[in-house]
Structure 1
Amino acid sequence: MTSVASLLREDPAKAPAAIERSPGYWTGVAKRVSRDKVAMLAGILILALVLVAIFAPWIAPADPYAGRTIRRLRPIGTAGFPLGTDELGRDMLSRLIHGARYSLMMGVTPVIMAFIAGSLIGIVAGYAGGRANTLMMRTIDVFYAFPSVLLAVALSGALGAGIQNALVSLTIVFIPPIARVAEAVTTQVRSRDYVEAARASGARALTIIRVHVLGNVLGPIFVYATGLISVSMILASGLSFLGLGVRPPEPEWGLMLNTLRTAIYTQPMVAALPGVMIFLTSISFNLLADGLRSAMDVKQ
């Protein structure tokens, strides 16, 4: 394909038309992602889980809260219970379907809130530089120094068990890494020629950030945050497993692992089902994030 630069050299009159026909950056990213079969498969699986979570009341074959002791711990393949039953005789398939709501919410919501807060902190610190950067980032480093698991457990223990407190704890855990990435990318963009030219022309800082900085830094930050969703799901499941997240009898995958741990010797396949769902969902978000990262790297 003839490049715009070659057309400028050969026939300047054709250059405007070539520029109009040339695909944009995000169009190229979408095309490269569509050619990545692994990323597309991961995206399809995530989309399917989202649809299952949305339409769970209509898809689930039984009430996820209704159980009978007489039918507890039925094996996979039992008539009427294709994935067996749990320790209270509740349908595992229905609980897994409804559990997608809680697990996806606990995985995605903290990352979204941390993406907004962390991006704001990092962009402001990266663009301001100097003492403001030092003050903001050293404060962030205090939280970043703790392991994410330890920090999440400590915050949830201090705030108390419950969905809302778990969401707050996970949000605080993910703000520091996102802020560090945002600060690093913004520092690079701040030194570019077009930003210096805008600053020399008298443009205000907010205008420069909105016009020249955001469009160049939000992409890498978004890709990094996408990869954190899998970590958020695992941490949320761990909090529920420890009794610091979702409370019984809600069908959350981590909580289901906790309640089924005593059945690992009698019905290991049934007890492993929530863990399998956590693994598949987490690896799907990781593969999708890797595909987006590769698609956004124009050097590849």
Structure 2
Amino acid sequence: MIAPNENEMIRGPHSDTPYYVLGPDTTGTAEPLTTLADDAFDRIAATGLDALVEAHAAVICLTGQRRPDQTLRSFAITRLPATVFTDHTGDAAVLGRDLVHEAAHNWLNDAHAALHVTIPDDVTYFSPWRGTERPAYGFLHACFAFPLTMIYAARALPDATSAGHAVLADHQRQQCPRLAAAQNDFTHALQLLPDRGLRERLDTVFQHARTLWTTAIPGTSRVRPRPHRAATPPGPLSTLSSRLCLSRRGDTGPEGCVITVVLSSSSSARYAARCSRCSRCSLV
């Protein structure tokens, strides 16, 4: 984990957002921030999403501290796999939410690459998160990343600090109507993905998140999850990580062997393809 100064961030044609590249002079963060990240990972582990974050948020770049009432900036860059840039509030549960969100983006980018997915640029859907039309690629990313943060928040709420609880509860309240608004378009957008396994995994996460909403308990600032009436209840949260595993056959290696491409929430962020016949065929 690193926490570069603002003037160390790079701005250039490779990304719309500033970024940082590890170099020989890069040093780790101070102990308080390392402790914060460790605590965040512990909270993520308690939600069952630790394998996803360990593989797809392996490099964390903290871009600054903000107050809980300020907008937090977090992003990932396709050119830097398994790397997450994010602000923080000093609260581990809130940092955990943002690590899950960006790890989801990285996972989906890797899934598209592993499965050779291309999505038409001219297909758009209305995004409840941005209040405007967005290309299908970005819309699907939102329909994957935000539901995962809802699932995380629902599980992290009971052990959150009062400040973290308030942020996560507000996040839940905001996301529930947005997922409801996106449901119909999400169903149509899924058909743009040629791989059935990927469609099922995105839909599993989205529908599981829709079973969660929060209602204030009278007389307190606490919230509690309430189930959405779904025709088919989703599986337990502990199974979600395994449902984020992809495998595919059909790619041919240099020796003419058929390679199995495996992309899992517990695998390397740079997905690997291993050959069952020889040690020379691989795809990275």
The TM-score, its normalising length taken from structure 1, stands at 0.25
Larger RCO (CA under 8 A, 6+ residues apart): 1
Flag the structure with higher helix content.
Answer: 1
